[in-house]
Structure 1
């Protein structure tokens, strides 16, 4: 680290402290040449994650866009904002851990669907209908048949069949 006063590269660290969030380190330094003291703040540089769209174009990962699309699918469902934030954290972490720091929009959709499948079957079908671009009722039927493999959905379906509503 160069001294800001005399530009010498001979400095020593007197004190280091990590910030509360753990993302920044504050260092108190002293120049060995002119004895000037100064403070530096160090933060690791986060490289952006890019989403590779279906048409091959790339755009920076947009957490808010992901949250909006999940919110629409989970509207009037028992899925909390905290749970949606958790899903977004999971997707963002998965993408950022990739060596190339790129993730396809298809992979993002599959990650979200995998979580929603277990969290709320209705939200899952809603999200799948947009993500997989359902064009007719048969698409919904096929997706419901896939979902029927899930034991939580089977329990829900069994409860429905045994209720007074269906009889």
Structure 2
């Protein structure tokens, strides 16, 4: 795998983090695209991705074993760490027969219930000893972020094993 794909991938990941984007999308026939505040924004300074470029960027994130699994199964989910600076939840898949990827930036710090501006009743959820509740909603609307805030509060306020 040429190192220039790895360098380009690192540039895109750094741009994703610096722009405050939640996602980076890599797909043939489009410029790399960020999701910022829920809106898709093409990176205008970038070239439209060719099949070779998209394949190179996707392959730059994968070990040989992961790449073999991906090609066999046509999709693969994993986490990717960029130089100990940022972590991403990654889904690689085939779109119109070409390698594509969606990368979700995982925040380094867990935000609190207050920082997320969730209703105060969410504090009560962390005090319940047993039961079941669901956190549901469309993709990208904060389900994992909400659960992380709840679990962080449980970890800081109780001695229970989670």
- TM-score, L = length of structure 1: 0.24
Name the larger-Rg structure.
1
Which structure's residues are more often strand, by fraction? 2
Flag the structure with more relative contact order, 1 or 2, with Cα contacts below 8 A and sequence separation at least 6: 2
